[in-house]
Structure 1
Amino acid sequence: MQGALVVQNTPTGGPGRVGDWLGEDGLPPDVVHAYDGGELPETLADHRCLVVLGGGFMPDADDRAPWLARARELAAEALKTRVPVLGICLGAQLLAHVAGGTVRARHGLPESGSTELTLRPEALEDPLFRGLPARVKAVEHRVDAITRLPRDAYWLASSERCPVQAFRVGERAWGVQFHPEATPRSVAGWDAESLREQGFDRDELVRQAELDEPAAAANWRLLLGRFAAFVTDGG
């Protein structure tokens, strides 16, 4: 059995350090470049967990990203068969969508760069988030948002502009709106003009991300280590 099936939805939206961390913890990433015709498997039978990365699509945008239909099927299979899931940005939205939540396009104010998240009381007992600081920094890059969580979801974190920043569906599937894989270098590669149109200055975003990086890297390395341990130890 292979390690983590990782669904990559855009050319620049790779797993980055999340893939490195999973590999270090015994879950080598099997990255499928779905955006470039990479074929997703029919089932998750050969993988120990599912990781769905970000991308500038709605989770049901099959006209623009036809592979998302298969990604949704795999997420639904994971929920049914208790295969652990980690959804990041679009991946979190796809998880929420499959489990019965609601995602809205270009909802509310956009978020980009290092952003303060507030952990909710439910996070105190969550296998991944427990013990993290009450307020943590994470890189954001979003315009769409989850506006209603699935009925059986645990709401774990929020930010000023986006209430649903992290959640868990059932006992084995997590979604995070933020980007634990992103670094200041990632921010420096974003389109400066698009950011200006949203009211952000890229140089300032990079500066703030650099200041916040040591603590952010430590927090998200801990979270990914816990996810890997949850998978390898059988939850």
Structure 2
Amino acid sequence: MRERVTVIEHEAEAGLGFFAGWLRDAGVDCAVVRPYKGDPVPETAERGLVVLGGEASAWDDEGYGWLPATRALLARSVADGVPTLGICLGAQLMTIACGGTVERGGAGLEIGLCDVVPLPEAADDPLFSALPARPLRAVQYHYDAMTALPPGAVRLAAGGQYPNQAYRLGASAWAVQFHPEATAAIFESWTSGGGLPPSQAGELNDQVGAGEEELRATWRPLAEAFAGQVLRRSAAGERTAAATPSP
């Protein structure tokens, strides 16, 4: 039986993108929960958890009523050692849920194809050590920033505009401020909302479109490494169950 991770999707325009195929190919299926369509956020995610991005601020509980339940799910998953990945808004929700701070970014909107700089701590990280050994770029689109990481977090990557781009919490939870899942089409759907001048939106769309193959090569190993964490946890659980004597 294939393993299945829980995915919290906050809006239709911010779906799994590349990750849907990459996780599937690595042996992991996705159960997508869409609370903006009325799906209840589950209390637990036993096999794995991915929390995607969205236009909400991580503290906007009034505008997005499912955020408290999502933060509770993230905190519980981190505490239980469930393989967990928070992306952009998901990363910010994890940060607040686990004792860190998220604020409106003082350096303004970070957008487009931007540099992500792995730190020395990334060299032996279960996910980031799988990335190619070359300068990394990733899709960005966020106004808010993780200004203080949760206690015990291991910072894994930095950036020029905002210093906290990725961290690990515990043995099996990761937060990334950028969008490793975003395809060129997804990014274009974000820039078409009218918030940017058409000339800027067009330039950014061209940049991300031209870099799409680079993005595939860069971030597929991260998705595969996350799937590996899910499969290893499942295998460990099966071994424990097999070794437990029946009453």
Q: TM-score, normalised by structure 2?
A: 0.88
Rounded to whole Å, the distance in 1 between the matches of 2:20 and 2:213 is 19
Residue 103 of structure 1 and its aligned partner are, at CA, apart by 0.2
Aligned to 1:52: 51
Rounded to whole Å, the distance in 2 between the matches of 1:68 and 1:103 is 14
Rounded to whole Å, the distance in 2 between the matches of 1:132 and 1:123 is 12
Rounded to whole Å, the distance in 2 between the matches of 1:204 and 1:16 is 21
Matches within 5 A, 1:30-179: 30-44=31-45, 47-130=46-129, 131-179=131-179
Residue 178 of structure 1 and its aligned partner are, at CA, apart by 0.7
User: Looking at both structures, which has the greater relative contact order when contacts are Cα pairs under 8 Å and sequence separation is at least 6?
Assistant: 2
1:2–1:228 CA distance, 2 compared to 1 (3 A): closer
Equivalent pairs, count: 231
- Segments of structure 2 that go 5 or more residues without pairing to the other structure are 237-247
Residue 43 of structure 1 and its aligned partner are, at CA, apart by 2.2
> After TM superposition, what 4+ stretches of structure 1 lie above 6 angstroms from structure 2?
none
Residue 109 of structure 1 and its aligned partner are, at CA, apart by 2.0
Residue identity matched to 1:201: Q
Secondary structure at the aligned position of 1:140 is classed as: strand
Q: Which has the larger radius of gyration?
A: 2
Which 10-residue stretch deviates more, 7-16 or 203-212?
A: 203-212
Secondary structure at the aligned position of 2:206 is classed as: helix
Residue identity matched to 1:50: L
1:53-101, Cα deviation, whole Å (9 max, x unpaired)? 0012222321011111111111111111111100000000011111111
Secondary structure at the aligned position of 1:228 is classed as: helix
Secondary structure at the aligned position of 2:15 is classed as: coil
Residue 195 of structure 1 and its aligned partner are, at CA, apart by 2.2
1:192–1:34 CA distance, 2 compared to 1 (3 A): closer
Residue 134 of structure 1 and its aligned partner are, at CA, apart by 4.8
Aligned to 1:203: 202
Identity of aligned residues (%): 38
**Contact 1:110-1:161 at 8 Å conserved across structures:** no
Residue 188 of structure 1 and its aligned partner are, at CA, apart by 2.2
User: What CA RMSD, in Å, does the superposition of the two structures yield over aligned residues?
Assistant: 1.8
Matches within 5 A, 1:185-224: 185-189=185-189, 190-191=191-192, 193-196=194-197, 201-224=200-223
Rounded to whole Å, the distance in 2 between the matches of 1:180 and 1:61 is 24
Residue identity matched to 1:25: A
Rounded to whole Å, the distance in 2 between the matches of 1:110 and 1:120 is 23
Rounded to whole Å, the distance in 1 between the matches of 2:214 and 2:135 is 11
Aligned to 1:229: 228
1:195–1:82 CA distance, 2 compared to 1 (3 A): same
Rounded to whole Å, the distance in 2 between the matches of 1:4 and 1:107 is 34
Rounded to whole Å, the distance in 1 between the matches of 2:85 and 2:42 is 17
Rounded to whole Å, the distance in 1 between the matches of 2:120 and 2:98 is 22
